[in-house]
Structure 1
Amino acid sequence: MTSFDGIARLLGRLGRGASLAARTALPVDTNPVPADWTHVTKVDPEDDKKLPLLYPLYLRHTSAVSVGGSADVTATNTEETFELLAPASVPVFHEPSGPRHVTPRTRARADLLAIPEVLNGDSESLVGQLGEATEYVREEMVPETLREKLPWLPAFAEDALADFATSWLLADAVFEAYVIQNPDSAAAREANVAESDLLAPREAKQRAMAAERHLESELLYLEYSGTFGGDEAVETLDAISDGLTWSRLWYGGGIDSRDRARAILDAGADTVVVGDAFHRVADEERELCQRAADALDPDASAAAVREWVGENVAVADSNAAAYLATIPGAPDPERLARRYLTATVRAWLCLRARREASGDERGSASGRSLRADLRRALGADLFDALAETDAALVRRNFAALLGTDEPADSDHITRRTDGSRPSADEAVATHLALALPP
């Protein structure tokens, strides 16, 4: 061993020691997952899982948005989902359920890449897919990107750079260690988690401790996937929380009320993850707007729409109120739900009126008049309270529904690497719950 090798090894040990000290002994937080993310909304790219028409209104209350699902997810519908969420005013990260769901476009859009590892599944779900993903990134994704961006690069340099880029991507990602406790869920089927694989609280704690200290997982995710874990989940969270010092502890499954969200957070979870409750808002508003279209004139006033919603919707029991209630920081979920459902009906009526008035399936309104119509439909106070990016997102999606050009004042919408603007038409038509009739 040369003296240079010895120095390099010493520096490596010092670096590892400094990292361990920062995680365990020093009063600093080095976990790249923000500690103030108390609520994450999970958006499933599956074509059957729709988004509400005015989803930027709802998502402005959540801490972050996760893109990922366990069934019928592809690279294409994942990219489309990221298109629809760019540029939302909240962070958007990627939880891929398959290696090929990660593409250059999703990496460019995602604030974080969270790689799942199932602690109580089979070896494929723990290391097999990671190995497949590493091979895919090293031998396909990175070389293709390098050849596209740096066609002049010599082969020997391309190979070395591909090695570095692959290692950097994995080092830059966060690792998400799952404990799946619902054997009837799609997540359990994907990871081959059977009834016999479910963990007692102490077993879950032990595996969580190994994930934090050996696998260096930034996230520990207790997953009940579609069902509420109740007292069992509370006991397991309490045990896991007692064993962790650095990793974030997340819970997902059956959160559809403020009481359930609060119980999970009080049990030791850092974050509640909500997915189904959000997608149910989209299902609800589809039926609501169909009823409103039959009962109200396209130019119905704000007062008339509010009155109709008040008489025809049990807002306190609505999916909109249920989703908003899961967000600890959302003030008065019922009041917000009433405002958002009313705004959705008015915006939908506005879209139908514009389509009918144009006399042309593709519409003809300018971006400026569309903005004015949306401001009137949503209400000046609500529209003006939106972040600039969220307001632009609403206009872009409505322009896509109408088939008009993208609004001219949305320059801050992220461009593709070739300088062109993203087209939202196809993604909007596929993933929004409400689409204009031809």
Structure 2
Amino acid sequence: MEERMIAFPSFYAGWRHVFKLDPDRPISDEDLEAVCLSGTDAILVGGSSGVTYENTVDLLARIRRYEVPCALELTDPESAVPGFDGYFVPLVMNAKETDWLIGHQTSAIEEFGAFLPWDMTAGEAYIVLNGEATAAKVTGAEAALTDSRVIAYSQLADRLWRVPVVYLEYSGAFGDMKLAKKVRETLRQAQLFYGGGVRTPEQARQAAEAADTVIVGNVVYDDLRAAIATVEAVKFSVKEQDHVF
């Protein structure tokens, strides 16, 4: 197997566990404090719908009470908020409409490119694999893909386009970890993010074994204690893989 040469931009180089928070979903100050002080590596702010400049600014201001790094997914020009530690520009590889591959992104760059901190901005090649997820419905993603098709999308992003992040998104359902491992093994320079259905320490451990970075989202809003438990599970899994105790 070829050795992977991962080119990590500095702002997310060490991320192994990340909580994803949606500006359009309410979270109490108490719960937000627990998330920010949990030991997670970062907070990723983003959502598939209802994200505005106002609710993004509000969430950022609340997160900034703590020292945890915070990044924004730029899915809509209207939610381009300055002040984050890093920015991701999602490209939905399996979207039916090219607007979700280059259209929205081009519009955002046309309007805000002169102000975008390019040294803190990374492309994010999404492969959406849960057809029932809001992300799939909004983008019209063809989620029923064969393993070979998923790998082809990831190689296109990784090797031809040199996108630094490949993101397997199951959003609400726990995905196929064998497939995630296959994708990770084929990547040469991209970092593999996994998101979807991580609700228990065991699922977090499995995801950490399969991907470089585990994104935990929905469970924050309906079972905070379970969400917090995923942090230690990912950290312990990484230590096991590195043989550092």
> How would you bin the TM-score normalised by the shorter chain?
0.7 to 0.9
Deviation, structure 1 residue 57:
3.1
Alpha-carbon distance in structure 2 between the residues aligned to 1:191 and 1:170:
25
Deviation sequence 1:208-231 (CA, Å, 0-9, x none)? 1111222221111100111112xx
Contiguous gaps of at least 5 residues in structure 2: 236-245
Give the one of 256, 263, 266 matched to 2:199: 256
Give the one of 30, 35, 40 matched to 1:53: 30
* Counterpart for residue 135 of structure 1: 110
Question: 1:190–1:64: structure 2 CA closer, same or farther, 3 Å change rule?
Answer: same
- Which amino acid is the alignment partner of residue 208 of structure 1? S
Alpha-carbon distance in structure 2 between the residues aligned to 1:213 and 1:275:
29
Deviation sequence 1:281-318 (CA, Å, 0-9, x none)? xxxxxxxxxxxxxxxxxxxxxxxxxxxxxxxxxxxxxx
Deviation sequence 1:210-258 (CA, Å, 0-9, x none)? 11222221111100111112xxx21221211111122110111110100
- Given that 2:201 and 2:230 are in contact with CA atoms closer than 8 Å, whether structure 1 keeps it comes out as yes
Deviation sequence 1:160-194 (CA, Å, 0-9, x none)? xxxxx36x644641000000001111111221114
Question: 1:26–1:70: structure 2 CA closer, same or farther, 3 Å change rule?
Answer: closer
RMSD: 2.5
> Which structure has greater helix proportion?
1
* Counterpart for residue 239 of structure 2: none
Alpha-carbon distance in structure 2 between the residues aligned to 1:256 and 1:274:
8
Deviation, structure 1 residue 27:
7.4
Alignment of 1:240-255 (within 5 A): 240-255=183-198
- Given that 1:261 and 1:328 are in contact with CA atoms closer than 8 Å, whether structure 2 keeps it comes out as no
Alpha-carbon distance in structure 2 between the residues aligned to 1:25 and 1:58:
35
Give the percent of matched residue pairs that are identical in Structure 1 and Structure 2.
28
Alignment of 1:29-428 (within 5 A): 29-46=7-24, 48-60=25-37, 61-102=39-80, 106-107=81-82, 109-121=83-95, 122-137=97-112, 165=114, 169-170=117-118, 172-194=120-142, 197-229=143-175, 233-267=176-210, 269-280=211-222, 319-328=223-232
Aligned to 1:113, what secondary structure does the other structure show? Answer: strand
**TM-score between both structures, scaled by the size of structure 1:** 0.49
- Given that 1:202 and 1:236 are in contact with CA atoms closer than 8 Å, whether structure 2 keeps it comes out as no
Question: 1:26–1:212: structure 2 CA closer, same or farther, 3 Å change rule?
Answer: closer
- Given that 2:5 and 2:188 are in contact with CA atoms closer than 8 Å, whether structure 1 keeps it comes out as no
Aligned to 2:149, what secondary structure does the other structure show? Answer: helix
- Which amino acid is the alignment partner of residue 185 of structure 1? A
Alpha-carbon distance in structure 2 between the residues aligned to 1:207 and 1:26:
18
- Given that 1:45 and 1:81 are in contact with CA atoms closer than 8 Å, whether structure 2 keeps it comes out as yes
Alpha-carbon distance in structure 2 between the residues aligned to 1:253 and 1:52:
24
Alpha-carbon distance in structure 1 between the residues aligned to 2:225 and 2:106:
42
- Which amino acid is the alignment partner of residue 92 of structure 1? C
- Which amino acid is the alignment partner of residue 278 of structure 1? V
Contiguous gaps of at least 5 residues in structure 1: 1-23, 139-164, 281-318, 332-438
Deviation, structure 1 residue 29:
4.7
* Counterpart for residue 362 of structure 1: none
Question: 1:54–1:131: structure 2 CA closer, same or farther, 3 Å change rule?
Answer: closer
Deviation, structure 1 residue 55:
2.3
Q: Which structure: larger Rg? A: 1
Aligned to 1:42, what secondary structure does the other structure show? Answer: strand
- Point out the more displaced range, 75-84 or 25-34: 25-34
Q: How many residues align?
A: 233
Question: 1:278–1:243: structure 2 CA closer, same or farther, 3 Å change rule?
Answer: same
> Which structure has greater strand proportion?
2
Alpha-carbon distance in structure 1 between the residues aligned to 2:130 and 2:137:
10
